[in-house]
Amino acid sequence: MSGTSLDGVDAALTEIGPTGQPRLLRTQYLPYSDNLRAQLLALHTPQPDEIHLAAIAANELARLYAQSVEAVLDGIPPNSVRAIGCHGQTLRHRPADGYTLQIGNAALLAELTGIQVVADFRSRDIAAGGQGAPLVPAFHARVLRHPGIHRVIANIGGIANVTDLPLDGTVHGWDTGPGNMLLDAWIKQHHGAHYDRDGTWAGSGAVHAGLLEALMKHAYLKQPPPKSAGREQFNLDWLDATLGSLNETIDPADVQATLLEFTVQSLCDAVNHECKGAQELYVCGGGAHNSALMQRIRAHLPNVRVATTTQLGIDPDWVEALAFAWLARQTLHHAPGNLPAVTGARGERILGAIYPA
């Protein structure tokens, strides 16, 4: 798995038995080089010769994915692995225009590893009229739903999304807005760091009420689910324009504090408005390690038990990688991987394309 945070590759060696319950055996994380991260970030916007540049980046990603597979196997023979579920790196997510693009050259990955690859999970859902995202709610519903407790799972990566798991009724899920994306971009611009460890820099500032109000006016937040978001909606250009509209200078630490509050408020508003009666909220993704962010979520949801998925027996860093292993298994079993109530697709669909070894 490599997501919108553009930090690196999460590889999870997973065993899934007949019941569909996954067992995490081994994990491996390989960071992106600064050069690859910059290339991928640049490809999110139009530029000269972008088709060639995207193809070269896809090949580089495939080689990095292959390295991560070799590292996580560490002596386990490749022929004992049924498949690699590879999400790829999203460059554009435009469901309104009928497409989404994740690169990674799955054919090259199959060639390098000798293991069949399942990739391109999102396109079939979009072809069926859906958003192609989020896809992890189907996994959350299968693995983390409780028969007697109304739970919400919040995945806070670059983008934040929630899965509502009510006791009865339909599972819903959608992207609530930015997760770590703006926080990471702002601290990178001002301090050269890839992320704000524990929200320390945000904690040194104060929330700017005017900026928060302006951020919360983003049109995406007013749209009802099903919906999905990415860098197209939330990026530094939009943030800079919003800052410029205020006609005042705001201390960068105060901007960071406000961005953290923006992530929290947009997520918690979604929980309060769309997940009424929720008793528990479990956080996974990189945001689970941001203590300042977790404290603010608890403050916004005083009547909900807030914890990380560690409490459910799954390390929050590996939930999404596990989900795409499970989605690959669904593909191989000719079983649907989407939830139409989540994505808005016309019905259940078998997701993914298979690249034989």
Q: Summarize pLDDT for 283-295 with one digit per residue, the tens.
A: 999 999 999 999 9
Query: What are the residues whose beta carbons fall under 8 Å from the beta carbon of 52, sequence distance 6 or more?
Result: none
**What mean pLDDT do residues 294-309 have?**
98
Give the pLDDT band (50/70/90) at residue 4. confident
Give the end-to-end CA distance of the chain in Å, rounded to a whole number.
20
| CB count in 10 Å sphere of residue 241 | 11
Give the chain's domains with CATH numbers. 8-131+317-355 (3.30.420.40), 145-312 (3.30.420.40)
Beta strands in 166-296 (DSSP E): 172-178, 280-284
Query: CA angle 21-324-138, nearest 5°?
Result: 65
Minimal CA–CA distance to 305: which of 115, 118, 153, 81? 153
Using one digit for the tens of pLDDT, what is the confidence trace for 310-342? 999 999 999 999 999 999 999 999 999 999 999
* Phi/psi at 28 (5° precision): -155, 135
What is the C-alpha to C-alpha distance for residues 286 and 177, in angstroms, rounded to an integer?
15
Q: Beta strand 159-165 with 151-156: parallel, antiparallel or unpaired?
A: antiparallel
Using one digit for the tens of pLDDT, what is the confidence trace for 8-51? 999 999 999 988 889 999 999 999 999 999 999 999 999 999 99
What is the C-alpha to C-alpha distance for residues 242 and 259, in angstroms, rounded to an integer?
12
pTM of this prediction? 0.95
What are the DSSP calls for 178-211, one per residue? Answer: ESSHHHHHHHHHHH--SS-GGGHHHHHS---HHH
243 pLDDT more than 90: yes
What is the C-alpha to C-alpha distance for residues 268 and 56, in angstroms, rounded to an integer?
40
Minimal CA–CA distance to 11: which of 55, 47, 64, 53? 64
5 pLDDT more than 90: no
Using one digit for the tens of pLDDT, what is the confidence trace for 106-122? 999 999 999 999 999 99
Using one digit for the tens of pLDDT, what is the confidence trace for 75-132? 999 999 999 999 999 999 999 999 999 999 999 999 999 999 999 999 999 999 999 9
Distance of CA 356 to CAs 140, 291, 335, Å? Answer: 28, 43, 18
**Percentage of residues in the chain having pLDDT higher than 70:** 100
Residues 351 and 106 sit within 8 Å (Cβ to Cβ):
no
Sheet containing 84-85, strands listed edge to edge, beginning at the edge strand earlier in sequence: 84-85, 117-119, 353-355
Residue 238: is it exposed, middle or buried by C-beta count within 10 angstroms (0-12/13-18/19+)?
A: middle
Residue 21: is it exposed, middle or buried by C-beta count within 10 angstroms (0-12/13-18/19+)?
A: exposed
304 pLDDT more than 90: yes
Distance of CA 6 to CAs 143, 153, 203, 254, 319, Å? Answer: 27, 22, 24, 24, 17
